[in-house]
Every structure is written in C-alpha cells, then in structure tokens.
Structure 1
Amino acid sequence: MKNILLVCAAGMSTSLLVNKMKEYADSIGEQIEIFALPISECSTVANKVDVVLLGPQVRYQKSQVESIVPAGIPIEVINMRDYGTMNGKAVLDRALQLVNQ
C-alpha cells in the first residue's frame, strides 16, 4: 500500500482533493492511504509516507517540509491548475509517478 501526504494550510480545500484522489484510486483498484495535514503535523507521519505533495498555497514552506521528511522521499508542489480544479486523477497520477521513479 502506498502512502501519500498532502501538506496544506487549513485543510478545507485539500480535504476535497483527498476525497477526489481516493475516488480515483478506488476506481483503478489502487490501495492508497492519503493524509492531508498542516505542516505543523507533518512529523507525525513523515516516516510512513512514500511521497509528499504541497498545496500551492504552502509552496513557500517546501524547504521546511524537506527538513522534516526523511531523505529519498519525493516532495513536490501540486500543479496549481490541478489543485484549483480538484483534479484528483492528475494529482494522484503525478504522485504515483514520483513514487515509482
């Protein structure tokens, strides 16, 4: 099972994206755990994730996330268009690409 962490500010819009990603994962038969947490709580799951995606609104905190997450775990800012349109398919596809690199 793959584990994906989405880092957000307050979590409202990111929770919607998590739901869209889970729906898509279910439709393609992928077993994936997706967490959406503010940066202050990242350390609670940092050792359990395969990839970390940052919401565009917290892109400026990428270096802080890099200091929390173990080396070797991919970290990337979510494409602004995909985030804005809540394109769960595109975001999940990108996360899986990062995991499989």
Structure 2
Amino acid sequence: MKILLVCAGGMSTGLLMKKMEKYWEERGEDNSINAVGLSEYMDVYKDYDIIMTGPQVSYRLNQIKQDTGLPTEGIPSFDYAVGNCANIMKIANKLYAQK
C-alpha cells in the first residue's frame, strides 16, 4: 500500500511518517508512505493508493477527494498527536479496501 500524508506544510506529518515506517518494519509489512504539504499533493497523488490528512487540513478533505479521486480520510487529532500507528493503519486498511 502506498500512502500519501497531507498536512499544512509537510513537516508534522514527516514525524508521523517516520513512526509509521518503523511500525511496518517491526511487523515485516511492505508499505510506503510520503508526506507533503497542501501545495504539493496535486503533483504527486497519482503515485499513491490512498491519501490521509493531518487534522490541521481536515477543512480541505472534500477538496482533496474531488481533486484526486482517491480514497481519502483525515487522521483523528489524538491518533495524529501521539502517533498511534495501529489506529492509523485501521483507517488506512479501510481506505485501501475502497480502492
């Protein structure tokens, strides 16, 4: 599964991206993830299966869905803040099943 994380500038999701990579490595899962800011997702979305957004850009969720046509959902604030990879993967797997 290829996940695109979108946030305001791509920095805070960069931290989450590292946690997710470690989570997958520990479980032997072969997924990939990249983090970008709002101004960049249109340039790269075609290379991904799903899009997940940080809470700070949840107001753009419908626009991102319309622009890309990909399964897209926001990461809940608490899961995002603490890097709850297990809960985030539940959402990711649900989105991937919609592809």
> Normalising by the residue count of structure 2, what TM-score does the alignment of the two structures yield?
0.88
- The percentage of counterpart residues that share the same residue type is 39
**CA distance in structure 1 between the aligned counterparts of 2:16 and 2:83, rounded to whole angstroms:** 5
- Equivalent positions of 1:1-101 (< 5 A) are 2-70=1-69, 73-101=70-98
**CA distance in structure 2 between the aligned counterparts of 1:55 and 1:16, rounded to whole angstroms:** 11
**CA distance in structure 1 between the aligned counterparts of 2:38 and 2:11, rounded to whole angstroms:** 14
**CA distance in structure 2 between the aligned counterparts of 1:12 and 1:37, rounded to whole angstroms:** 8
**CA distance in structure 1 between the aligned counterparts of 2:47 and 2:15, rounded to whole angstroms:** 22
Contact 1:6/1:54 (CA < 8 Å) preserved in 2? Answer: yes
Number of aligned residue pairs? 98
Contact 1:17/1:87 (CA < 8 Å) preserved in 2? Answer: no
> Normalising by the residue count of structure 1, what TM-score does the alignment of the two structures yield?
0.86
User: Would you identify which runs of 4 or more consecutive aligned residues in structure 1 move more than 6 Å?
Assistant: none
**CA distance in structure 1 between the aligned counterparts of 2:6 and 2:56, rounded to whole angstroms:** 10
Which amino acid letter does the alignment assign opposite residue 52 of structure 1? I
SS at match of 1:10: coil
The gaps in structure 2 that reach 5 residues or longer are none
Q: 1:68 to 1:92 in 2, by over 3 A?
A: same
**CA distance in structure 2 between the aligned counterparts of 1:64 and 1:100, rounded to whole angstroms:** 21
**CA distance in structure 2 between the aligned counterparts of 1:48 and 1:63, rounded to whole angstroms:** 20
Contact 2:9/2:38 (CA < 8 Å) preserved in 1? Answer: no
